[in-house]
Structure 1
Amino acid sequence: MTLQLVPLEIPSDWTVVWNHFFEINPDDFHDESYPYEMELHEDIFYFRNEKKGLILDLGWYPSMSPEGTYTLYLVKIGDEETGPEYWDNPILKYRSRNINEITNKIHKIFDKVAND
């Protein structure tokens, strides 16, 4: 079976650096027998909006762990040498195991950024 990406309506001012946000059900992830364990890692997607100076990042934390959650970060783009402080103080950090909740939050962020 081929995994499908979660359908996202990504506005044109966002650049998709990578996207591995697949339609899977993390509620079934209880141990290493889960067939999609490898899809739940820290680097699920990374989008940049140069115009607004923002990064939208999605990962699974802790990586490949049944105790993990999707974690969505919205951060300011900063100097690559001083970048970690931006990650330590995100504009938004949102967690959920529910793929629909994460998808809805992503679309709300896109809408809010577009209207700011």
Structure 2
Amino acid sequence: MIGSPVRSSFWDLNEIDEGLPLGEQIDCLKEDLAQITFPGAIVLDLGWYPSFDPRGMFKVMVVQNSDWDKPLFLANAKDVSSLREQISLSILSFCQ
């Protein structure tokens, strides 16, 4: 994977202010927050489910070859700190 291109389809996580409670940022909590494509047709997808619902949570998913029914990695996170941890774990899941 070294030297292979990594492409961000979109990245809206910057809209979320870690210093504010998520409940005060409902307009930023949407299903399509970030998507990154890695070599090998691997996609890291991040979103908030259900969109704009303060009771929701972040979902981190890694899929290969657009097989959304059989993710390589799937995890939830309730806050930004946990989200960071799950993003790291998701990348480790296919980089080893």
Verify same fold: TM over 0.5.
Answer: yes
What percent of counterpart residues are identical? 21
1:38-67 CA distances to partner (integer Å, 9 max, x unpaired)?
110000001101x22211000000000011
1:73 is matched with 61
Q: What is the total number of aligned residue pairs between the two structures?
A: 92
Identify, as 1 or 2, the structure richer in strand. Answer: 2
Whole-angstrom distance in 1 between the partners of 2:13 and 2:78:
13
Residue 27 (structure 2) pairs with residue 46 (structure 1)? no
- Go from structure 1 to structure 2 and tell me whether the alpha carbon gap of 1:65 and 1:52 turns closer, same or farther (over 3 Å shift): same
RMSD: 2.2
Moved over 3 A (4+): 25-28
Contact 2:58–2:83 (CA under 8 A) maintained in structure 1: yes
Whole-angstrom distance in 2 between the partners of 1:110 and 1:52:
13
TM-score by length of 1: 0.67
- Give the secondary-structure state (helix, strand or coil) at the position aligned to 1:87: coil
Name structure 1 gaps, 5 residues minimum. Answer: 1-10, 79-85
Pairwise mapping of residues 48-67 of structure 1 onto structure 2 (< 5 A)? 48-49=37-38, 51-67=39-55
Whole-angstrom distance in 1 between the partners of 2:5 and 2:79:
26
Whole-angstrom distance in 2 between the partners of 1:54 and 1:28:
29
- Give the secondary-structure state (helix, strand or coil) at the position aligned to 1:105: helix
